[in-house]
Structures are given as structure tokens and as C-alpha cells.
Structure 1
Amino acid sequence: MTSIRESIDHHKNTGGQPPFSPRELQQWTELITANPYRNYLYSYPHKTAYRGFASPLSLEELWRDEPAESFFLYMHIPFCGARCGFCNLFTLPDKRADVHAEYVDALERQARQWAAFTGHKPYARFAIGGGTPSLLAPAQLNRLFAIAADIMGVDLSTTSISVETSPETLTGEKLSILKEHTVDRVSMGIQSFVAAESAAIYRPQDPDVVYRALELLGKYDFPILNLDLIYGLPGQTVDSWLYSLNQALRYAPEEIFIYPLYTREHTIVKPGDLLQQQDIRHECYQAACLLLAEHGYRQYSMRRFAKEEAGTSKAILDYSCQEEGMVGLGCGARSYTRHVHYASRYGVSRKATQSIIAEYVGAERYDTADYGIVLSLAEQKRRFILKAVLHSEGLPLADYSRRFGSSVWGDHPELALLVQSGFARDEEGILRLTPEGLGYSDSIGDWFISGDIREQMKEFVLP
């Protein structure tokens, strides 16, 4: 890849798209297509690039100067009934009601301190994620909405609200609470309708429980029902994958997220566990794209498919897709200002998550950030590009120039490789991935990680 790097350096700051040679283009295309699932870049920079700050940062100062016109409130509930075999998120299998209550107490203390810093701008969106928020008892679930409205100042009647759930935790009482508080999107992780496939990822799940949960959800008629499914599971075939997808389509969800299976050394299902089976993920993805299009779903990213008419009747404030102004309450939640991303420490093992949660619950003060990353101008530019180009809306080149006072092509001439390869088009000033390009979003995102961030990610050691 040295020749490509030399071409990029040669064209740096020219302001135009460099023509890469056929050999360079072939090298790059092979790099992208050889391993489409090398890394899921759901945020940039990844949390493994975070480190302890030399000295704590004042949240009052961070949020006072945040230029976002509206904010996104996220509450993280880090508890699940069981840990899935593919999960590397910050979550702890713990069903104890007293543990949940202590945690919500801490979240309320944090909210009372943060409200003074973030209450000067309205909230456009509010999400409760995890973990599994619907694992909480009804009283604790109710408290989360009270914290949002009465302490954080969220107008529940005008804010887009999303809540994550799982089939075995749903009850009529809990869904009534969501309905009462005008939740307009309920997301349920199913992953597979085939019991053997669920068992293979250490997710004990009776399909009948899933069907009952879907029937119950249908009675409450939330504006948006999202269902999550995973392809590439142990023992799965393309046919069994399409069976699960068709089962989900029976309930006509407004939104469907499809995820390729990722395994890592610190997840229960290890990468080596899948070496004996053929990698069918890309074939599953392509089959899903065709099936979902036939059922009237529009593709918005590699993972998100939705009906065009899906939405809410609320008059929701505009909120940037760049996810600045993200106010993350709870242990494990991230917060994003334009220049600083911060969170609690990152852990995956039971011992590490227990320790981090105990530290959070035992704290009295939450008014400084001591762990995260300060984004240089160069990393802000990369984030801006990634958060736009990996979605069907694409990257408006003029927006980039207004924001940074420079040209996308001048700053990152290597993006011309996307266009020359046919993975993207420059459509009237919007750099947008083609349908084929969307299928390689994970490898494209991984390729675009800066050298500095990649090095920090490599050096990270899980506690």
C-alpha cells in the first residue's frame, strides 16, 4: 500500500480528486473486500482509544461552550438477564431489584448535578439503552422518565424517545409506562427465531416467548417498532437467516436492524469457534437487502432498514447526525461535545464491570470528566466524514467546508478511492456510498481510522 500512500501525500492540499492508478485502485479494493467484517466502527474514536486525562476536566466548562443547538440525552442501564456470547458491551448479568434501585439512585444524583451544566439547550432526542432497560421493575422504569423530565428538563411530548427491550422482560405494565410517557420507538433484540442458533450464542431464548412479546407489542401500537437480528451465527445457513427475517417481517416492524456477527477474544464465543464453518455473512447481507427491498424497506446504512413512512407525529427538533451534544447519564454511557468525548472506564469481564459499576454507585460527585479523549482538529474532521458517509444521507461537501474552512478532497484525497472503485458517488456535491459500498461499510470505516487512533486502540488493555 506504499504507492497509494505516496499518491495521497502527493495530492494533499491540491483541493481536487487525485486519479489513482489501476494498480493502486486494485490494491485498495482488495484490501476493502477481502475482509468486510474486520471492525464495527459504531463510534469514532472507539472507546479503546480513550485514556485517563492528565487532570479532571470541568463539565461546566465543557458544556458551556458546546456549539450544538440541541442535545441528545442517553441513559445507560448496564444490566441484562444473561450475557450473550457475542457481547462486548459494558453490561452485567444481574437481576437483583435492590442492585437496580441503587443504580437508579446514583443516576438521579448524577442527573441533579449535570442538569446545571446541560439545561441551557433543549433536548431533541432521549434514549434509554443498555444492557436491557426493560429488566428494571416498573417503579424504577418510571423513575427514569421522571429524572429525564423533572430533573434534566426533557419535554417528553416533543422529544423523540427510544427504549431498548428484550422479549423475556416485556410485560403489559412496563409497556403501559412507555406508552404513558410518549415513547415513540421501542427496539427489541431478537437476533434469531431459531432456538438452536440462539443457544449457540449463549442466549437461551424460547421462540414462543419472542412471539408472545411481539403480539403484546402490537397491542400498544408504538409509532416505531424496531427489531434487531444477527447473521453469521454458529450453525446458521442463508435459508435459516431468511427464515428469521421473514418471521420478523410478519409483524411489519417500521424498522429492522441487521447485524453481522462479530466475535472477539474477550467475548464468550471466540473467533476460533467459527473457523470450522464457512463465512456466509456477506451472502446473508445481500439476501437480506433484496428481501427487505421487496417488502418496502429503504436502506439507510449497512445495518438500518426502515419504511419511508416510519416516524412520529411529534414536532422534533433538528439534531446533527454527528452526535455532538450527547449527554450520557449512567455508568458506561459516553458523552460527546465537539472537542471532548468522555465516559467511565471501559470493561467487559464480570469482575471489571462490577468494579466500575460499584465505583459509580458509590460516588457522590459527577461534575468532572477524568477518562476520555480530546479530539484534535484532524480527528474532528475524520469523525465528521465517517458519521455522514457511512449513512445513505451521505456527506454534503459544502457542509464540511463551512465547518472546517477547507476542502474534503484537499484534506483527504484518499476518499477519491471510494469514487474510483464505484463504492461511492459524488452526487451534486454529496459524497454518498453506493449500495455496494454500503455493504463494505465496516471495512471502509476501519480503513479510514487515523494512524494515531489505531495505535491507541492497539495499545489498550482490558482490565
Structure 2
Amino acid sequence: MSTSPLLQLTPRPPADTSADTPAEALGTPYRQYVYAYPHQKSYRALADGPALTDIWAGERLDALSLYVHVPFCEMRCGFCNLFTRTGAPEQITTAWLDTLERQARATREALEAQGRDIRFTLAAFGGGTPTYLTAAGLTRLADLCENVMGADLRAVPWSVETSPATATPDRIAVLAERGATRVSIGVQTFLEEEARAAVRPQKRSEVDAALTRLKAAAFPILNIDLIYGIQGQTEETFRTSLDAALSWEPEEVYLYPLYVRPLTGLDGRHEDTGESWDEQRLRLYRFGRDHLLAAGYRQTSMRVFQRAGTAAVDQADDAGISEYNQQAGMVGLGVGARSFTTGLHYTTDYAVAVPEVRRIIDDYIATPTEDFRRAQWAFTMDDDERRRMYLLQTLLESGGTVVEQYRGRFGDTPAAHFPAQFAILAERGWLTGGDTLRLTPEGMAWADAVGPLFFSPRVDAAMAAYRDR
């Protein structure tokens, strides 16, 4: 398939934020995950992108975050629409690391050209599955982050994702030695029949063995991911997975609703069984939420639950870490990684379909170093988009949006900028007001529909025009 047409991004006037937002947009609680705004489907290729030295000019460099996207997995789950390739041979991962080093050097040069102190205060390896890399590959990746980018991994909070099959003793040893503070393992379900229904072949024995090794390594934060909404899943079976996860005393548990997206393994295969899928997911979400709250966890967003009195809570409070907190200062490395500055978000090409993902990774490996000195795919940020991004980062969190902090940044109140959206939330009884705007528990249950209410017309149009591939 061909890629999207080349577009030269230009600034635009602010959107008419007073326009009516239809309540029908809330017809389903599950429109989409909102991790970072705008979605990568809003980015477009640049005919002659700006130089990184210009993009980072004037940006704050003493509190940067480093994100490395590792686009490899041992298998592709039926629900997965992440940018990842399965079963890549070692010659591909080695070539990818070679290219990553070239990109890192070009990026570091652009940051050093600013003539100011550079300091990384957060780091993360995501994917994909970073521990798909061998122990030697992980060591090289850590060396690259430290020696080329200048991020002291042993001195900052940094997170890494793993899977039951790749959480091997030698890989875990590398993460522990380099000072990883948070390891997140995607279990999704402890029941083998549910794993099969989600097109995720895994054995309970493999999951337990991986968790045994992770607990023995004593990382400050262990996170376990679970999914609800799998075909045939009930409160009873979900409780089995919840209790199995809790038996490992994780500092965090993430609860994800199952989504079935085009070009994924479950596309066209997932069927409702009696009740509507939305009703099943809402019912299981409420059950899981209440079960974790009763077990002593606090809820910080629709998905995130942290055990009180643990490193997860302390680290999040001290560093301001959350799902949504990156406004600017994110340096992304690797195909599929995004970088955020005040005026521009930029990345590489993006796809879901297996052949397109492989092509993009191959193209990345073949990219001349000079091309890494310019943004390739991007989305321009203006004041309107920054307001929307900030609201999504705060309103979807349990701490909410502090009105005076918002006014200090953007000159007026959230309700003044987004009257139609807040009217819908108030009408539904999903918002508490006063000095801080917070979603009610039921509003939080609908967070995946509340978030897209605040997408701009420009982002909605760009996402609608994106061709799934």
C-alpha cells in the first residue's frame, strides 16, 4: 500500500471551541484510548520538515523525558493494534539498534546545539515488547541511552514493558542492574481459555514463572496489566484474574477495556454473547474497580490503580508521573516513537497492518542519518490544541483540572473555552465543580468517551481521513 500523501504543515486559526458538541458522541463508553493527544493518526508526512535544531530552539531542556519505542514482539495478540512486528530475526533487531544509535546521535547533536544544559528526568522503554531484545540487545540499548543521549538510567525513574515469555532471568538481570524502577508485565488474563479467546496463546505456568522472577528482582514498582470484555468473561472469571494478580502484591494494576480494531486478529471474530458488549465491559469495569478499591488500591485514572503506601504512589506524587502528563519535552527514539515540543509533535510513519509495519521498519533501518536531523511526520500545536491537551491530561486523572492553574496557563476557565463539552458532562452528572473540576466515578467509567469530546475539529478530520493500513 502507498503511504499518506506528503503534506506541508502550516499554522491554522484557533478552532471555534464554542461550537455545539453533539451528545450523540457519548453513545458508547468505548470510543478509544486517550494516551497522548493528538492521536498518531492525526500526524502527516512533511515534504521538507524543519530541522531538529530549530524545533528544540527555545524549549526547556533541563527536565526532558526519554522514550524509546521497541517495535518487536514474540507474538501479536488478537486485540493488538500497536506498532510492532512479531518474530523479527536477530539481524533485523541488530540493524534496528544500529539505526537507533544513528538517530540518537543526530538527536543529541540537535539538543547540544542549543548551548544549554541537557538533563533527562524520566525514561521509558515501550513497544512492542522491549524485552524481545536479547540481554545483550537490552544492554546495548541502555548503553545508548546513557552514553549517547546522556540519560542516567540509575538516577531517574524509568519504566520498561515486558511479557511472560520474555521476562527471562538474563533480561531481568539487565533491567535490575541498570536501575529500572518500574516493570510492567502484560498478563491480560490468568485463565488460559480467556487467553485463547483473546488470541493470546499463553500458559498460566509461564505467567507465574515470570512473575516469580520479577518479584525476586525486587523492582520498586511491579505493574500487572489485565483486560476486561473478553468474550465469555464474567465477574467470576474476572475475579479469578484479579485475585491472582493481587496475590503477587503488585504496586500497580492496570485495567484495560478490550477493543477490537480493524486489521487486528480479533477483527470480525469477536461476537457478543447475549448482552451488549458495552454493557459487559461497563459491568466488568465497575466490578474490577470496586474489587481493587476494597483491596487497598487507589484509582488515579480509568485504567490505573496504585497500592496505597507503596513506591508507585510515592513516585507518581513526587515526579508527577501519570498516563497523560507529557505536555512538552518528550524526546522519542525509534520507529513509532513520538517527540513533543511546545509547537510541534513529530514521529515516523505509522501503521497497524503487518506488511505495512514491516515496510516501515525496513524503511527506518535504511534511513540516511541526515534525514534524522529533520522531523518526518508531524502535527503542529497551537494554543487551542495545547488547551485541549492539558484538559485531557488533567480531567481524565483523579486529581482533576485545577481551574486557577488552567486560567494561569490559558487566560480563562475551562468552561469558557469548552462550554458545550462541559454542559454535556454536567447534564450527565459526571462532573464535580468548584476550584477543581473532577470526573465523578461514573464519569471516570466513561473516560474513553469523555476524552474524545475535547478533540479539535482538525484532529477529528485528520483521524477520519487516515486510511487504516
TM over 0.5: yes
Distance (Å, rounded) in 2 between the aligned partners of 1:421 and 1:158: 45
Q: Secondary structure at the match of 1:143?
A: helix
Mean Cα deviation higher: 265-274 or 250-259: 265-274
Distance in 2 (alpha carbons) for counterparts of 1:72 and 1:125: 5
1:17 aligned partner: none
8 Å contact from structure 1 (residues 67, 338) kept in 2: no
Query: Which residue of the partner structure matches residue 148 of structure 1?
Result: 145
**Alignment check: 8 A CA contact 1:389 1:395 kept:** yes
**Is contact 2:327-2:390 (8 Å) kept?**
no
Q: 1:246 aligns with which of 243, 246, 249?
A: 243
Segments of structure 1 that go 5 or more residues without pairing to the other structure are: 1-8, 14-19
Cα distance in 2, alignment partners of residues 323 and 147 from structure 1: 25
Cα deviation digits, residues 40-74 of structure 1 (max 9, x gap): 22221111111112421111111122247511100
Aligned to 1:302: 302
The corresponding residue for 1:6 is none
Query: In 1, Cα distance between the equivalents of 2:57 and 2:365?
Result: 26
Q: How far apart, in 2, do the equivalents of 1:89 and 1:263 lie?
A: 12
Name the structure 1 match of 2:433.
426
Instruction: Tell me by how many angstroms 1:176 deviates.
Output: 1.2
Change (3 A) 1:446 1:318: closer
Aligned partners of 2:327 and 2:389 also within 8 Å = no
Verify the 8 A CA contact 2:262 2:468 in the aligned structure 1.
no
Are the equivalent residues in 2 in contact too, given 1:160–1:316 (CA < 8 A)? no
How many angstroms does 1:325 deviate by? 0.9
The more displaced of 315-324 and 211-220 is 315-324
Whether contact under 8 Å (1:41, 1:442) holds in the other structure is: yes
Of 82, 89, 106, which aligns to 2:75? 82
Per the normalisation by structure 2, the TM-score is 0.89
What SS does structure 2 have at the residue aligned with 1:125?
A: strand
Query: How is 1:216-255 mapped onto 2 (pairs within 5 angstroms)?
Result: 216-255=213-252
Q: Which residue of 2 aligns with 1:322?
A: 326
- The separation in 1 between residues aligned to 2:34 and 2:332, in whole angstroms, is 19
Alignment map for 1:328-367 (pairs within 5 Å): 328-365=332-369, 366-367=372-373
Residue 68 to residue 260, structure 1, CA distance change in 2 (3 Å): farther
Deviations 1:191-245 (CA, angstroms, capped at 9, x unpaired): 1111111112221100110011111111111100000010001222221111111
How many residues of Structure 1 are paired with residues of Structure 2 in the alignment? 440
The match for 1:417 among 376, 401, 424 is 424
Say whether the 8 Å CA contact 1:70–1:318 is kept in structure 2. no
* CA spacing shift, 1:68–1:275, aligned 2, 3 Å: farther
Q: How far apart in 1 are the matches of 2:226 and 2:45?
A: 35
SS in 1 for 2:361: helix
Partner of 1:376: 382
**Alignment partner of 1:301: what SS?**
coil
2:392 to 381, 386, 390: 386
Q: Hey, what's the Cα distance between the residues in 2 that align with 1:436 and 1:67?
A: 38
Cα distance change of structure 1 residues 277 and 163 upon mapping to structure 2, 3 Å threshold: farther
* Percent identity of equivalent pairs: 37
Q: Which residue of 1 aligns with 2:410?
A: 404
- Alpha-carbon distance, 1:89 to partner: 0.8
Q: 1:132 aligns with which of 118, 122, 129?
A: 129
Deviation, structure 1 residue 247: 0.6
| 1:102 Cα offset (Å) | 1.1
Distance in 2, Cα, partners of 1:229 & 1:118: 38
Shift of 1:121: 2.9
5+ residue gaps, structure 2, are: 1-15
How far apart are residue 440 of structure 1 and its match? 0.6
| Aligned 8 A contact 1:257 1:304 in 2 | yes
Secondary structure at the aligned position of 1:229 is classed as strand
Mapping of 1:417-456 within 5 angstroms? 417-427=424-434, 429-456=435-462
Deviation at 1:311, TM superposition (A): 2.0
Superposition TM-score, scaled by structure 1 size? 0.90
- Show the counterpart of 2:154: 157
State the partner residue of 2:203.
206
User: 1:96, CA displacement in angstroms?
Assistant: 1.5
Which SS does the other structure have where 1:235 is aligned?
A: coil
Tell me the amino acid that sits aligned with residue 349 of structure 1.
A
- Superposed displacement of residue 271, structure 1: 5.2
**Structure 2 contact 61–119 (Cα < 8 Å) conserved:** no
> What RMSD, in angstroms, separates the aligned Cα atoms of the two structures?
2.3
